[in-house]
Structures are given as C-alpha cells and as structure tokens.
Amino acid sequence: MARSPQTLFDKVWQRHVVSGETADTPALLYVDLHLVHEVTSPQAFALLRERGLRVRRPERTLATMDHSTPTLTSQVFGGLPIALEAARRQIEELEVNCAGFGIELLGLTHRQRGIVHIIGPELGLTQPGMTVVCGDSHTSTHGAFGALAFGIGTTEVGHVLATQCLLQRRPRTLAVNVTGAPRAGVTAKDLILAIIGRLGVGGGTGHVIEYRGDAIRALDMDERMTVCNMSIEAGARAGMVAPDETTFDYLAGRPRAPRGEARERALEEWRRLPTDAGARFDREIDIDAAGVEPMITYGTNPGMVIAIGEAIPERPGDAAFARALAYMGLAPGEPIRDRKVNVVFIGSCTNARLSDLRSAAGVLRGRRIAPGLRMLVVPGSQQVKRQAEAEGLDRVFLEAGAEWRESGCSMCLGMNGDVVGRGEYCVSTSNRNFEGRQGSGARTLLASPLTAAACAVRGRVTDPRELM
Amino acid sequence: MEPFTTLTSRTVVLPAANIDTDQIIPARFLTTTTRSGLGRHLFADWRYAPDGSRRTDFALNRPEAEGCRILVAGGNFGCGSSREHAAWALADSGLRAVISTEIADIFRSNALKNGLLPVTVDETVGGWLLAHPGAELTLDVAARTLALPGGRIVTFPLEAFARHCLLRGVDELAFLLERSEEIEAYERRA
Ligand code: SF4
C-alpha cells in the first residue's frame, strides 16, 4: 500500500519520535544537535548539579559564547578586561560548566567561535533531516538545511542536556509559496520582511513554516538562512527549506559534515526528505517575489514594515499603533525615506555572513559614510571575519569610516557594551526592532545589508537602488 | 514546583498588543546566572524613567496593582526571544497567570514550567478584561475555567499534560528521566 504523501516536516518529526503523543502526554522528541551559549545555559547546568545529573550525550552538544561577549579586539584578544563585569562572569561560568560536564566549547578566543546560528552551518554540523535546538529563538535559522530547528527555554535546555529529549506537541504546518524573480536590489531580507508583513507578527504561532517555490529554490544557503532566521518574527516555531543540490554543495568539505562513503549514505537519506507531491499543509499562503521592493520597518515590531518608497500607514483610533510611532518619533502618513539615521549596524545571525558583508561593501566601496554617523560592522563568526579580511572587505569598511569588530551578537541585542543611544535611529540588519532592543530608548529600522549600507552613505533612509 | 489548583485575584492590565520578551525583561538584565531576583527588572523600561525613578502612570506601579496575581495583556503576549527570564521575572513579581487572546509559543512553554498559567481567551472576553482593570477573577486549573465577575464562566485551552503537571506540581524533567529505557531503545534503532 502506498504511504500517504508527507511534508518535509512530517518526515523529520516522525524520524525523531521516541514515543508518540497521546491524549495525556506530548511526544518525546529526540534531539540530534544541541547548541549552547552563555546567556540561557547557566541555570540549566545548575539544575543538573542540583539533581546530580550528567549530560546524556556530550558529543551531540556544542557550546560557544556570542551574546554577552565583547566585540572589541582589545577585550577579546588584547588582554584588556571585559568591560561588563556580569558578562565576564557569565563567560567564565560557561567555561567551568563545559569543562565540568565534558562539553566541547568554542571559547572566546577560538578560531571557530561566532554567533551560534552562524557557526553550526559553517562547521557543517547542521545537516538535513536533523533536529536542532538551542536556548535561542533564532535557532530557526538552521531550518534552511531541511532540519527541524527551534528555540527552547532554559528549563528545556536542562531537559535536553539530561535526556537528549524534549516533550513536544506536534505543531501545525504552514506552506509559504514564493514564486517569481525578485528585482535588482531586492534581497532575501526583503523577501522575509515582506512575508512577515503579510503574516503579521503572530500569524505563524503554533506553526512550522516550509518556504517553497522557485524563488526559494533560487536562493543560496546564506539567503535561505536569512529567510528561516526570521520565521520566529512571524510567531512560527521553525522555518524549513527542503534540501537540494545547493544544500549538498554547501556542506561538501565542511569540517564536521560527512565525507566519502558517509556522505554518499547521507545523500541518499537527504534526497528523500523533500515534501512529497500531494502532501497537505494545514495552511498555505502565496507571495509574488517579483512584486517585493526593498523593505524597511518603521515601528516596534517586525510586522510594522513597508516598501522603502512608501509612506508610513495611518491607523486612526489604534492606540498601540500610535504609541509605537510615538516611540519611534515618526508620524503616520509621512514618508520614511530621507529620515535622518544616526547609526548603521551590519551584523547578527540574520545578515552577518560573508555574502552580506560583500553586499554592504559593494555599496561602500570608494565611498564614505555620512559625517557624524556611526557604523558598526560585526562579522557573524571569526571565520567570516578572516574570509572578509582575505578579500579586503575590512579595508572597504574602515576606509569608508565604519568600525570593524570581532564576531558576536553585538548591537543586535545590546547586552555586550554595543548599544544605540536613547532616541537615536539605527538602520540595522538584525531581526528585532522591539522597544529598547538595541539599547534603552533606541529606535531600530530593520533592513537588508544593501539598504543599510546605502543609508550609511547618505546618513538618511535611502533606497539602495539609487546607489547601485 | 508548588501545585497550582485555583487562583482568585484582581487583575492588572497592560492593554498593548505584541508585548515582547525584550519589554518583559530587557537584554541588559540577562547577564545573571541565577533565576531568582529578576522581578525588580520586570518591564524595566516601562516601569522606570531614564533617571531610575518609578513612572507613576505605569499600571504595575499603581497602588491598586499591589497584590494582583493575574496579568491581562493585549494579543500575542510574550513574542520574541526564548529567554525564560521573562517567565522568571513575572513569577518573581508574584504573578501566577497571564491572560491574552494569544500567547507566543516559547513563552507559553516557559511559563508553564514555572507555575505561571498562560490563559488564552476569545476577543470578546479579552476585550472585556482589557476594559475592566482590577476585575476579580477565579482560575480553576482542573476545570480549565475562568470565572468572571457576575458569575460568567468561560473555558480556556490547557493541554492535558500541562494541566497534570500544574495540578500535581510535577516537573517535566522527572517525567523525562523515567523514560530512559525508551530513549535508549531509540538510540539503538537510530
Ligand atoms: S545575533 Fe541577535 S538574534 Fe542572533 S542569536 Fe545573537 S542576539 Fe539572538
């Protein structure tokens, strides 16, 4: 009898069910790869100690530090003390925990350190068909490889450390079909911002998204990661893209990806993962990529987003909307273009891979950033940093007047010393424009690296196509 | 964890929709390595002015918020980051339940693990609750009901396992540890 057609999600889920869900209990789901960082793990290790437990599968666990780490070379390598005392303690605690529990740690000065969602793929650890979790909501990034990857809370970090399993109810599935060729100047970041604009910030709650269609197939792995990264901004637990030749080529030769015969066997498995013809999703939406413009946010959640040439919407009578605009210092009906910008941040797990830096450098080459503007370029990992330097991108940024830092989360969440000042406008390639996300009173405008670089040159909100 | 059976309390109301975890507890307070004491940073940027003084117009700072155990908020509460610090900060402030028309997935899961009951209601009930701060409500975990003033009772969704854990004060880790044979069997198969 023919098996009924399954989605990519169905297949990955089914392969990891240790015991199925019943009316009374959720499913027990096995975790292939557990990534750990310094901010959401200390209380989980404390839980293990309290109960006298060990880490069940240390070899399936990898730790790094990225959130509270400084990005100044003098503090990372130069022997200067880490300015933030509490961050220093958190970093030391992770070192002690990893040593004590036998977990591999890519520590502060390690060559392979970086933002947790950048190094997993970069090392070839993230592979199709896996379950990947981390105490961080942007774990959804790894779904670009056809993995089921999602963020968990600290108590669950403890569960996975102790048992390699999680209790989970099966989520619903949502297909986002993206078709057509995007126009010049329109990037993966613009596509996902447009998708979030359509779905709304709660539109994906309870769902795992599969991004499908020829516009997704045409994206390279860096771009697919940008798209999957922001699934959580639509409320979805995870985002996935079916693995294909693009995925397999990316993984070839990566230090921790399978090689030789193991790769052949893995490929056979991986090729069976894509959604079967005729498989059903709980919901579907269609997006025309050709109609997407360079996008920018104007409010305090990522769903408050418009094409860069559009005016800020008017919503009379909507108090929350009015409040968000008041925080942003913007008025309904006014254009966002030409608004003054104080800070530009190129970084984060959304857009700090090599291709993002190339794209920003392409705009900045031979140009200077606007007088008085501060621009921070923070590579997503030390490897990205080295590659960028080998290509001379660091020179482009420095000559343009930007700062070039060591890798880390930096200004994406402002808990490491890199912050945007009160009332300042920051065009940022990160993923969240929440009030105070980049610093108390900071005003964030989310955009692509292309747009961010164009804004840096002009010192004003600028359509990148004007500088291309 | 303390068993959670019923709770009767007045509400404190934050009408904004999409209250994200960066509002509940800003990232600069995440450098802690313990789970206690986070209540003082709850909604820090809304509760305190830049000079550190308390904003008297913020709902949680008003005298009538004293002793309230139930927070009513606009839709899509708890969206954003996975930081369990958000649930810890709410619980540390004495809150035991959050009511909204929609509650973000990871926050919901984190709340349940900390004895903080996530309650979703429909637009009508949600709208009424937002318009009536200080209303006295009774939540019943076993019956999955919310009793409004005047005797109206509505039910809310609560997964059987979560309900069981709340009622008994059981934590999930103990349950998971009991399943080690199944986990071993899976590891042999895989
Ligand atoms: S870069 Fe930003 S979103 Fe990504 S993991 Fe770091 S803090 Fe989270």
> Which residues in chain B have Cβ-Cβ distances shorter than 8 Å to A441?
45, 50
CATH number for the domain formed by residue range(s) B9-139:
3.20.19.10
Q: What is the rounded average pLDDT of the residues A77-88?
A: 78
DSSP state of A428: E
Pocket of ligand 1 (CB under 6 A): A 66-67, 115, 117, 136, 138, 348-349, 409, 412-413, 430-431
**Residues of chain A with pLDDT > 70: what percent?**
100
Q: What is the rounded average pLDDT of the residues B31-45?
A: 92
Q: What is the rounded average pLDDT of the residues B147-159?
A: 97
Q: Where are the beta strands (DSSP E) in A4-59?
A: 17-19, 27-30, 33-36
Q: Does A19 touch chain B (CB under 8 A)?
A: yes
> How many Cα atoms occupy the beta-carbon half-sphere of A100 within 13 Å?
14
The residue in chain B having the minimum alpha-carbon distance to the alpha carbon of residue A161 is B173
Q: What is the pLDDT of residue A83?
A: 72
Q: Residue A1 above 60 pLDDT? A: no
DSSP state of B41: G
CB of A393 closer than 8 Å to CB of A411: no
The residue in chain A having the minimum alpha-carbon distance to the alpha carbon of residue B184 is A18
Q: What is the pLDDT of residue A2?
A: 59
Partner-chain contact B183 A165, CB within 8 Å: yes
Q: What is the pLDDT of residue A225?
A: 98
* A105 membership: H or E segment, kind and range: strand A104-106
**Residues of chain B with pLDDT > 70: what percent?**
100
H helix intervals, A252-353: 260-270, 319-328
Q: What is the pLDDT of residue A331?
A: 97
Surface-to-core class of residue A129, CB atoms within 10 Å of its CB (0-12 exposed, 13-18 middle, 19+ buried): buried
The residue in chain A having the minimum alpha-carbon distance to the alpha carbon of residue B23 is A435
> Which residues in chain A have Cβ-Cβ distances shorter than 8 Å to B110?
153-155
Q: How confident is the model at residue B138 (pLDDT cuts 50, 70, 90)?
A: very high
ipTM higher than 0.90? Answer: yes
CB of A249 closer than 8 Å to CB of A46: no
Give a three-class secondary structure readout of A60-94. HEEEECCCCCCCCHHHHCCCCCCCCHHHHHHHHHH
> Which of B28, B47, B103, B113 is best to mutate for the A interface (most A CBs within 10 A)?
B28
What's the token pair of residue A452? 């961010």
> Which residues in chain B have Cβ-Cβ distances shorter than 8 Å to A56?
183
CA dihedral sign of residues A379, A385, A387, A393: positive
pLDDT tens for B159-187 read 999 999 999 998 899 999 999 999 999 99
Residues 203-262 of A with CB under 8 A from B: 205-206, 232, 235, 237
CB of A408 closer than 8 Å to CB of A69: yes
More confident residue, A164 or A319: A164
Partner-chain contact B113 A67, CB within 8 Å: no
What's the token pair of residue A129? 């068909």
> How many Cα atoms occupy the beta-carbon half-sphere of B122 within 13 Å?
4
Q: Residue A82 above 80 pLDDT? A: no
Give the Å distance between the CA of A455 and the centre of ligand 1. 22
Which residue's alpha carbon is at the smallest distance from atom 6 of ligand 1?
Answer: A409
Give which of B2, B10, B1, B3 is closest to B99, Cα–Cα. B10
pTM across the whole model? 0.96
Q: How confident is the model at residue A63 (pLDDT cuts 50, 70, 90)?
A: very high
Give a three-class secondary structure readout of A388-422. HHHCCHHHHHHHHCCEECCCCCHHHCCCCCCCCCC
pLDDT tens for A92-125 read 999 999 999 999 999 999 999 999 999 999 999 9
pLDDT tens for A261-295 read 999 999 999 999 999 999 999 999 999 999 999 99
Nearest to A43 among B28, B35, B76 (CB): B35
pLDDT tens for A217-253 read 999 999 999 999 999 999 999 999 999 999 999 999 9
CB of B73 closer than 8 Å to CB of B98: yes
Q: What is the rounded average pLDDT of the residues A308-322?
A: 95
Cβ neighbours of residue B55 under 8 Å, at least 6 residues apart? B46, B47, B48, B49, B61
pLDDT tens for B89-105 read 999 999 999 999 999 99
Averaged pLDDT of chain A: 96
pLDDT tens for A411-426 read 999 889 999 999 999 9
